[in-house]
Amino acid sequence: MDLPASGAAIRFFGKVYGKTNVHDGFSVGMTRDDQPTQVITETEKDGVRYVVSDSDAWFFNNLNLTVDFDPTKDEPKYIFEKL
């Protein structure tokens, strides 16, 4: 994603099609969004903010999202846990 050392933000969102361990017919999308609005939750790691906006609350309500990396698929791995 060509992120700078600090100041960047990644926004997670729900998108149609796909599947997660708690959603059928929806999957996780992510995009670089250095000026996110209406942020409902965020965490920072290594100078990068990871956020969810209010418009995607329906997808993340009452869930904790852990993002890992799957080296065999060379892609992110999303794990949802119910709160």
Map out the domains of the chain as residue ranges: 9-82
Mean pLDDT, residues 23-46 taken together? 95
Q: How confident is the model at residue 3 (pLDDT cuts 50, 70, 90)?
A: confident
pLDDT of residue 4: 76
Q: What is the spatial distance between Cα 45 and Cα 21, in angstroms, rounded to a whole number?
A: 24
Q: Is 48 helix (H, G, I), strand (E, B) or coil?
A: strand
Domain 9-82: CATH superfamily, name plus number:
HesB-like domain (2.60.300.12)
Residue 22 has pLDDT above 80, yes or no: yes
